[in-house]
A and B are shown apart, each in its own frame.
Chain A
Amino acid sequence: MNFIRNIGANTLNFIQSLGSVTLFLLQILGKSATAFVRPRLSIRQIYFAGVMSVLIIAVSGLFVGMVLGLQGYTQLAKFKSADILGYMVAASLLRELGPVLAAILFASSAGGAMTSEIGLMKTTEQLEAMNVMAVDPVARVVAPRFWAGVFSMPLLASIFNVAGIYGAYLVGVQWLGLDGGIFWSQMQSNITLSYDVANGLIKSAVFGVAVTLIAVHQGFHCTPTSEGILRASTRTVVSSALTILAIDFVLTAWMFTE
């Protein structure tokens, strides 16, 4: 009996939090004018969300590309198909690994930081103080962070992809001796701008919306204690990772199946 009641309670909680996040998104969109009228607020947040994540994104991309190059070459060589390494790596990165891994890394670095920062503002009653001074905290604090995340995510995913392709080039061509011309030509004749590159960018923009929305929502609605901030930051990373993977499945089924 309790088991069934738990399922019911969890389902209601899930629907409630989904509704809360949706209402929060509408609230942010309605109060986004400040973020655009005063772009300096967003630029500051782009620095914290985007610039501070570049290094981890680029280094991770490079290593992911190197692993793909090494594993791909080893397996493809068994079937005398090592020539398609460039295409295989580029397709994997552009369609899936680039947007997904960059978003998960972004969630764990910038997303967690966003939640903690807003949570700390709430705990130290800075958000309340803004309200008292007739400054809307959603317009002043949340909206610039949200738009900074949405803007930064596709750029970070592109940097991840380029670093990954270069990593695969280093391993496949420079280290294992695959012909450089074939590596690029196979990639160029099979990867399309309107299909692979554009869909990858759309995916990363959607992930950007999801991750930053979860991060700011968790921060804004956390329990105003140190433990509450800690829990909210953890929830941001976990929920973001799961949401990214779920959205990725839906988007892949929609974009890449014929």
Chain B
Amino acid sequence: MKKSILEFWVGLFVLLGVVAVGFLAFRVAGSASGTSGQSYTVYADFSDIGGLKANAPIKSAGVLVGRVGSITLDPNSYQAKVSLNIDSKYTFSSDVSAQILTSGLLGEQYIGLQQGGDTDNLAAGDTISVTSSALVLENLIGKFMTSFAEKNAGGDNTESAGQ
């Protein structure tokens, strides 16, 4: 085969491969890669993280502002210590609250940040003090069953007192 034709086809192949990698980087992993640049880390303690995983999104008002770093168990308080990598372009007040939420009925779990009213900003290494744990369906059903049973027992007592 002629040298120039061989080089042309190999060049075209390399170009095609590079375009494919570029497509995967910018179109497929588009907005998510935006938060993997400059970020600062803050911490939040939760009594129950449910199904939260490392790399889960952190959102504020529905906008992606960062990703969950590591999740560890604090050996003293026995609470889950979650590190939050927040994009440097976003700042939150020091009394910001963090909630573990679920997207949709069967969706993934993410952290929702609710801006507070304090004038001081959250700095790298700070710990978010106001947190709300994940909603565990089994606990919710348990509470509902207990309150339902108590209500029924109360109703029976009232009826028996009336008689």
The reply to whether B33 and A193 contact each other, CB–CB distance below 8 Å, is yes
* Interface membership of chain B positions 31-53, coded 1 if the CB is closer than 8 angstroms to chain A and 0 otherwise: 11100100000000000000001
Residues of B in contact, count (CB < 8 Å):
35
The reply to whether B6 and A47 contact each other, CB–CB distance below 8 Å, is yes
B→A interface (CB under 8 Å): 1, 6-7, 9-10, 12-14, 16-18, 20-21, 23-25, 27-33, 36, 53-55, 57, 64, 67, 104-108
Tell me whether A184 is interfacial, beta carbon within 8 Å.
yes
* Interface membership of chain A positions 145-157, coded 1 if the CB is closer than 8 angstroms to chain B and 0 otherwise: 0000000101110
Q: Say how far A18's CB is from chain B's closest CB, in angstroms.
A: 31
Complex-state Cα separation, A195 to B36, whole angstroms: 10
* Interface membership of chain A positions 42-58, coded 1 if the CB is closer than 8 angstroms to chain B and 0 otherwise: 01101100110010000
Q: Which of A114-122, A158-166, A229-237 is the contact stretch?
A: A158-166
The reply to whether B29 and A192 contact each other, CB–CB distance below 8 Å, is yes
Q: For residue B9, which residues in chain A have a CB less than 8 angstroms away from its CB?
A: 47, 51
Q: Which of A153-211 contact B (CB under 8 A)?
A: 154-156, 158-159, 161-162, 165, 184-185, 187-197, 201
Tell me whether A227 is interfacial, beta carbon within 8 Å.
no
Q: For residue A97, which residues in chain B have a CB less than 8 angstroms away from its CB?
A: none
A-B contact count (CB 8 A): 101
The reply to whether A81 and B104 contact each other, CB–CB distance below 8 Å, is yes
Q: Say how far B80's CB is from chain A's closest CB, in angstroms.
A: 14
A159-B17, A190-B108, A192-B67 given; name 8 further pairs at CB < 8 Å: A47-B1, A47-B9, A90-B28, A155-B17, A187-B30, A190-B57, A191-B29, A197-B21
Q: Say how far B160's CB is from chain A's closest CB, in angstroms.
A: 46
Q: Say how far A156's CB is from chain B's closest CB, in angstroms.
A: 7
Interface size class of A (residues with CB under 8 A): 35 or more
Complex-state Cα separation, A187 to B6, whole angstroms: 37
Complex-state Cα separation, A114 to B107, whole angstroms: 47
